[in-house]
Structure 1
Amino acid sequence: MTLTTDELTQIYQDLHQIPEIGLKEFETQTYLLKVIASLPQTWLTIKKVETATLVFVSGQAPHATLGWRTDIDALPVQEQTGLPFASKHEGMMHACGHDIHMTVALGLLSYFATNQPQNNMLFLFQPAEENASGGKRLYEMGALDDWMPDEIYGLHINPQLPTGAIGCRQGTLFAGTCEIHAHFSGKSGHAAYPHLANDMVVAGAQFVNQIQTIVSRNVDPIQSGVVTLGQFHAGTIGNVISGSAQVDGTIRALTQVMNQHIQQRVRTIAEGIALSYDCQVDLDLHQGGYYPVENDPTTTAAFIETMQTDPAIEYVETEPAMTGEDFGFLIAKIHGTMFWLGVDQPYQLHSEHLVPHVGAIEKGIYAMTTYFKKRDAEI
């Protein structure tokens, strides 16, 4: 059977009520398995890996495997939407739209569970997109090995696009990200005797200042990069020299080469501060699986051509965004494409007020069913 409009709406509302943080999506996985079990099982093989669920659809005469990935985790955000189906989990919310993502994935799966494709298909319900590089984790543990897709696709909702509009582009869609955690250790002391101490407020402040030169003086002006330091913690009171300082931030870049270049400049600056101020620095640059989402030229050309030529689909050419997505790791390993699905909202992603327009669900399913049927016949 193919899920109906009413069933899809109910699924979305049910999932919206049970948000869970990455690698703890136990209730979510149970719900997903219940819906999957209600579908025709003739061509389906189901595998659980931690809180991930993989569903393999056997094709009629396969010579390739098409993959679809959806993320299933939520954010530590207290919902303020006032919805009758608001989150039941205190301090957690699907503020990034993964409830919409999962509902679209289940709609797609219901179609191909009922209408057997020529080629194999893999549906990956992936945990921990927000907090633990779930895609990288599954790939490196070998969870995909038996059913490794030849191509993989995924979407992300976009509040700024019209409901159901498809936004995509050749090249980078989302930036790669890298966390910065720098801890400077010197010697605390009395404010009246600075010569007997080693002030880490000064060292940390110089680190902050010098970081500002990376984008302005080390990044090609026609390329893009962002370095933001959002936290600085040092000291306990005004008349005590602090012997330690903690600085935390993030790097954003549209290519992995640029991300690594900026990482190296951060590392060099931190080491220089430690030498200049005779202190110790513990620097952790943590990228994990948050590589840039660099769309594959071939799959993206085929995808865009389908979206542009179907009069029932509203297609928008979008600019790169500095948001991060761990789909970047998978797409660095497997040819594929990610795109935006418009949900027409005044609130940004991660907002406690975000209420995506549910009309996007069926439009997203239609767009990808149309594409997969066409791609299935081509490859």
Structure 2
Amino acid sequence: MAVLTEDELIKIRRHLHEIPELALQEKETHAYLLEVIQNFKQDYLTIKTPESLPTALLVLVKGKDPKRTIGYRTDIDALPVTEKTGLPFSSKTPGIMHACGHDIHMSVAIGLLSYFSEQQPKDNLLFFFQPAEESESGGKQAYEKGIFQGKFKPDEFYGLHDNPALPAGSIGCRMGTLFAGTTEINIDLFGKGGHAAFPQNANDTVVAAASLIMQIQTIVSRSIDPIQSGVITLGKVEAGTIRNVIAGHTRIEGTLRGLTQEMILKIDQRLRDLCEGIARSYNMQVKLDLNQGGYWPVENDPKLTQNFISYMKENKDVNYIETEPKMTGEDFGFLLAKFPGTMFWLGVGDPDSELHSATLNPDEKSIQRGVDAIKGFLISRMEK
């Protein structure tokens, strides 16, 4: 089979767009990817579906003179979003859509794999088709379940994320952090309910929660270096059942974001300190649950990222754009904490939409342009 053409990659992307599946449910997506890959020339390929993560797919391309194994990751899951694009190849699954562009991600990876299945690379290449990026921490699960072992262990890892705000086919990157790390915050305050007219006989969790919420707002403004960035948003508060009953339980739910794992851990500790203080001050139980999972900051490796940026800047066929860090999360950050590597943006030229939007409609010209830019970088990397 010859290397896939741009039209063939677009056809693959459109089929993937029609069959979106949620985290850890990507059975049809996995089957379709496997079918496509099995039609490639198999001389250099080893295909593996891990038993412990059955919707994941690993494809090793054997290098002709390898001195390293270069990993390339693409995510494959979709979001619980009802599509509103009106496209003829819209999602066929009600309430689920590739609203984050993972169909574009997969198509670029397939294009790269198609090329290297025909043109044997110098180094080994490991393609990781990862389930559960949007939730369930698929990258962390893959690592902890030991799927990167032996010949399937990369020495360095690369991956992209589409960006509708950048021109189609452009490459965006930066030194340092590309995406923030994210942590879910759940706080339960347990006091004692009672009649609104007799507060002395109750222990009001609403009052305590109000005090805690205001104190939490000082963490970023007074405990974090102003030159750095962090954010805490408390988006949900639930308490009480009726206006004249003091609430014996209040629940606060929110999220925090930080550009380094060190910063996130510092914010975590300040949250613990404040919750302990409220518990003592108001004589009640305060339970704090922090769930980061695999959504660590995407901290790019300095040496590898400088090499990546230099190549993209010097390539006259690449529109390279220096980008700012984003507070959105990405679970590739966990893998970059375990393997050195780089994450970068692929522009998809849809400035009127945002990621996770029901109207996201990436420019399909970005697929082949992305393949060409990344293919060139990988070939260049193998010569160093």
Where on the TM-score scale, by shorter chain, does this alignment land: which range?
over 0.9
Out of 364, 372, 376, the position equivalent to 2:382 is 376
Query: Counterparts of 1:340 and 1:61 in 2: how far apart (Å)?
Result: 30
Deviation of 1:71 after TM superposition, in Å, equals 0.5
1:132 aligns with 2:136: yes
Query: Counterparts of 1:86 and 1:195 in 2: how far apart (Å)?
Result: 59
1:105 aligns with 2:106: no
1:248 aligns with 2:253: yes
Query: Counterparts of 2:200 and 2:10 in 1: how far apart (Å)?
Result: 67
Q: Describe the superposition over 1:17-55 as per-residue Cα deviations: whole angstroms up to 9, x where unpaired.
A: 111111111111111101111111111111112210000
Out of 67, 70, 80, the position equivalent to 2:71 is 67
Which one-letter code corresponds to 2:270 in the other structure? R
Q: Describe the superposition over 1:298-345 as per-residue Cα deviations: whole angstroms up to 9, x where unpaired.
A: 111111111011111000011111111110011111111000111111
Q: Describe the superposition over 1:205-233 as per-residue Cα deviations: whole angstroms up to 9, x where unpaired.
A: 11211110001111111111111111111
Query: Counterparts of 2:311 and 2:296 in 1: how far apart (Å)?
Result: 27
How big is the alpha-carbon RMSD for the aligned residues of Structure 1 and Structure 2?
0.9
Query: Counterparts of 1:31 and 1:281 in 2: how far apart (Å)?
Result: 48
Which one-letter code corresponds to 2:18 in the other structure? Q
Residue of structure 2 in register with 1:297 after alignment? 302
1:365 aligns with 2:383: no
Match of 1:216, SS? helix
Report percent identity of matched pairs. Answer: 59
Query: Counterparts of 2:18 and 2:199 in 1: how far apart (Å)?
Result: 55
Out of 89, 92, 97, the position equivalent to 1:88 is 92
Query: Counterparts of 1:234 and 1:91 in 2: how far apart (Å)?
Result: 30
Out of 277, 285, 291, the position equivalent to 1:272 is 277
Alignment of 1:8-19 (within 5 A): 8-19=9-20
Deviation of 1:261 after TM superposition, in Å, equals 0.3
| Range with bigger deviation, 336-345 or 188-197 | 188-197
Out of 287, 302, 318, the position equivalent to 2:323 is 318
Q: Describe the superposition over 1:264-290 as per-residue Cα deviations: whole angstroms up to 9, x where unpaired.
A: 111111111111111112211111111
Query: Counterparts of 1:271 and 1:24 in 2: how far apart (Å)?
Result: 39
Query: Counterparts of 2:376 and 2:96 in 1: how far apart (Å)?
Result: 34
Deviation of 1:194 after TM superposition, in Å, equals 1.4
Alignment of 1:67-216 (within 5 A): 67-146=71-150, 147-216=152-221
Residue of structure 1 in register with 2:233 after alignment? 228
Which one-letter code corresponds to 2:363 in the other structure? H
Residue of structure 2 in register with 1:22 after alignment? 23
Stretches of 4+ aligned residues off by more than 2 angstroms = none
Deviation of 1:107 after TM superposition, in Å, equals 0.4
Query: Counterparts of 2:349 and 2:280 in 1: how far apart (Å)?
Result: 51
Q: Describe the superposition over 1:85-142 as per-residue Cα deviations: whole angstroms up to 9, x where unpaired.
A: 1111111111111110000000000000110011111000001111111111111111
Match of 2:305, SS? helix
Match of 2:257, SS? strand
Deviation of 1:296 after TM superposition, in Å, equals 0.7
Which one-letter code corresponds to 1:364 in the other structure? G
Out of 338, 356, 367, the position equivalent to 1:350 is 356
TM-score of the pair, normalised by structure 2:
0.97
User: Gapped runs of 5+ residues in structure 1?
Assistant: none
Query: Counterparts of 2:79 and 2:194 in 1: how far apart (Å)?
Result: 41
